[in-house]
Amino acid sequence: MNIKKSVGFYDTFDRSGSATRDTHYCAGCGHGILHKLICEALVDLGIQDRTVIVNPIGCAVFGYYYWDTGNVGAAHGRAQAVATAMNRTLPGRVVISYQGDGDLGAIGFNSTFQAASRGEHFATFFVNNAIYGMTGGQLAPTTLLGQKTATSPAGRRAEHEGYPLHVCEVLNQLKAPVYIARCSLADTKRIMQAKQAVRKALEIQRDGKGYAFVEFLSPCPTNMRLNAVQSARFVIEQMEAEYPLGCLRDDSAEATPRPAPAPAPAPSVFFRELATEGTAQPDPHFVEKRMKVAGFGGQGILSLGIAVAEAGRFAGQHSSWFPSYGPEQRGGSASCTVVVSGQQIGSPDATTPDVLVCMNRPAFERFAPTVRKGGLLICDAMAGVGPGEAPEGVRMVTIPASELAEQLGVPRAANTVMLAALSYLDATGLPREKLLEALDASFVKKPKLIPINRKVFEAATEWCRENIKEHGQ
């Protein structure tokens, strides 16, 4: 027989130990036929140089010995994820994922489903021979009912292994795929139809139009324990009865290529907006302050902490902020720890804070006993902490922060009142103008709120001046 070899193939089969063979496939197997169809199409469409084939785990694991294209071997079931990334990082290239039924329909089905649903721009060639080949004839998701395999010795039973998986029909429920077809490799007429489907899927890739999926019913004489002719007949008579051939979808005429990405700035330009120029250097004599802020979520606990830490940065000091996070943030309570220091900061946590701001009663109960002797505790009056409840050796100051904010018409600015109190009491060691600068910075995305918060800050400072005595309250 005189067979014309496509230049899409390597000239020789160079696998070590295979000197006496031209292929590692069994006689009567469908893989070799499909390999040839792919190679011919790549050459005819002129895309051999810009094609990458993701090789599967399974009998086609050695596809790279045949296809003279770029080749990447993927883990079992992961070819769709690998192809997804290759297509997204190599725009304009043709990417093919070549997979068998175990790889694509069992271990890798979710990846297949998700890639198809995203409409990834690559072609999937899915070889369905109703059995695991390389691993030794075990049950595949596409194994027919009653079919005996190494792991279904009595034949597949619907009540035990479920029904044969119809991958094309499942994918056809999705919006994104451009082309879905099922072909057969069992005889010449069918191979010629399969050839057209391969070509169509690759044209869609050449034109950058989206996801194309072609299933090939394929004979596996060795694992079906049949000869080549019998196994081809099995495909035609039994597999095609379960898996009808045909094109399920062809939207290639309407599909449009992905738009070219808009020009984007370099990171050094992009991040400039996020950063500030600063010349201040840490003052090694600045006494480290460890502060905790605690209260309900929504009281601006975390942002008050960030404002103090940011003021530390603006002043050139080292500063850190560590929040409570996770499920707790939805459960009502919130807290954070701020450390400002003239030296490199060790632990960002504070087991015995110098300063504690409590915005509610539970925060007081949880954290007030931890304040170090000689430390400062600032409570919102709303927390209802009586003067006699101050921990021994700790100065407690009560501020009607929520009430003041409410009176000023900005109920959410109780944290700004507390920032003013921290400033008035010099609790942070940071200059007032740096705290104000940080207050402004915290509203960088809502600049309208800056003047009103400044007003709250001034009013709160005034309240402190009138109500806080040097060593009294």
Partner 1 sequence: MTTFVKGNEAVVIGALYAGCEAFFGYPITPASEISHAASAWFPGVGREFLQAECETASINMVYGAASAGKRAMTATSGPGMSLMQEGISYMAGAELPGVIVNIQRAGPGLGNVYPEQGDYNQAVKGGGHGNYHCIVLAPGNVQEMCDLTIKAFELAFRHRNPAIVLGDAVMGQMMETLRLPAAECPPDDTRAWAVQGNAETRRNLITSIFLNAPMQEEHNRHLQAKYEAMRTEALCETYLVDDAEVVLTGYGISSRIARSAVDVLRRQGVKAGLFRPITLYPFPTCQLRQAAEGRPVVVIEHSCGQYRDDVAFHLGVPAESLTLVNRMGGILVTVEQVVEGVTARLSGKCCCCCPEATATPASGTCDSAPACPPVVP
348-377 binders of partner 1 (CB under 8 A): 348-349, 351
Binders of partner 1 among residues 452 to 471 (CB under 8 A) are: none
What is the closest distance, in whole angstroms, from the C-beta atom of residue 83 to partner 1 in the complex? 7
Among 181, 309, 334, 383, interactor with partner 1 by CB under 8 A: 309
Token pair recorded at residue 364: 């007081």
Q: Which is nearer to partner 1, 253 or 266 (CB)?
A: 266
Selected binder of partner 1 within 34, 95, 130, 436 (CB under 8 A): 95
Binding mask 388-427 for partner 1 (x = CB under 8 A): ----------------------------------------
Phi, psi at 469, each rounded to 5°: -90, 160
**Alpha-carbon dihedral sign for residues 274, 278, 284, 285:** negative
Q: Is 297 in the site for partner 1 (CB under 8 A)?
A: no
Distance CA 369, CA 166 (A): 65
How far is residue 79's CA from residue 55's CA, in Å, rounded to a whole number? 7
Compare residues 339 and 464 and give the one whose CB is closer to partner 1. Answer: 339
How far is Cα 399 from Cα 359, in angstroms, rounded to an integer? 10
- Please, are residues 55 and 65 in contact by the beta-carbon 8 Å criterion? no
Q: Which residues contact 248 (CB under 8 A, 6 or more apart)?
A: 168, 169, 172, 180, 181, 182
Is residue 124 close enough to count as binding partner 1 by CB under 8 A?
no
# of chain residues touching partner 1 (CB under 8 A):
72
Q: How far is the CB of 81 from partner 1 (least distance, A)?
A: 4
- Applying CB under 8 A, does 262 fall inside the site for partner 1? yes
Run of H or E residues at 471: none
Q: How far is the CB of 87 from partner 1 (least distance, A)?
A: 8
- What span, in angstroms and rounded, lies between the C-alpha atoms of 303 and 325? 13
Q: Which is nearer to partner 1, 188 or 268 (CB)?
A: 268
- From the CB of 207, what's the least distance to partner 1, in Å? 15
Site string for partner 1, 3-32 (x = CB under 8 A): -------------xx---------------
Return the range that interacts with partner 1 (CB under 8 A); candidates 108-116, 141-149, 173-181, 212-220: 108-116
Q: Which region, judged by CB under 8 A, interacts with partner 1, from 195-203, 248-256, 313-321, 382-390?
A: 313-321
Stretch that binds partner 1, among 93-101, 171-179, 182-190, 193-201 (CB under 8 A): 93-101
d(CA 385, CA 356): 14
What distance in Å separates the CA atoms of residue 310 and residue 6, rounded to the nearest whole number? 67
The DSSP code sequence of 92-116 is T-EEEEEEEHHIIIIITHHHHHHHH
Cβ proximity to partner 1, 78 vs 156, nearer residue: 78
CA separation for the pair 296, 382 (Å, rounded)? 12
User: Which of 208, 297, 323, 431 contacts partner 1 by CB under 8 A?
Assistant: 323
Residue 46: its H or E element: none
Q: How far apart are CA 161 and CA 142, in angstroms?
A: 11
Which of 324, 381, 342 shows the shortest CA–CA distance to 358?
Answer: 381
- Of 378, 451, 361, 391, the C-alpha closest to 419 is 378
Q: Could you tell me which stretch among 229-237, 312-320, 384-392, 420-428 binds partner 1 (CB under 8 A)?
A: 312-320
Among 29, 38, 60, 94, indicate the residue that binds partner 1 (CB under 8 A). 94
Nearer to partner 1, 207 or 237 (CB): 207
Report, in Å, the least distance between residue 79 CB and partner 1.
8
Q: Is 267 in the site for partner 1 (CB under 8 A)?
A: yes
Across the strands, what pairs with 214? Answer: 125, 181
423, 461 Cβ separation under 8 angstroms: yes
Q: Does 228 bind partner 1 (CB under 8 A)?
A: no
Near partner 1 by CB under 8 A: residue from 45, 236, 345, 394: 345
Give the C-alpha separation, 237 to 131, whole Å.
Answer: 16
Region 33-92 residues binding partner 1, contact defined as CB under 8 A: 48-52, 54-55, 61, 64, 68-75, 78, 81-86, 88-90, 92
Instruction: State the Cα angle at 280 between 277 and 281, rounded to 5°.
Output: 125
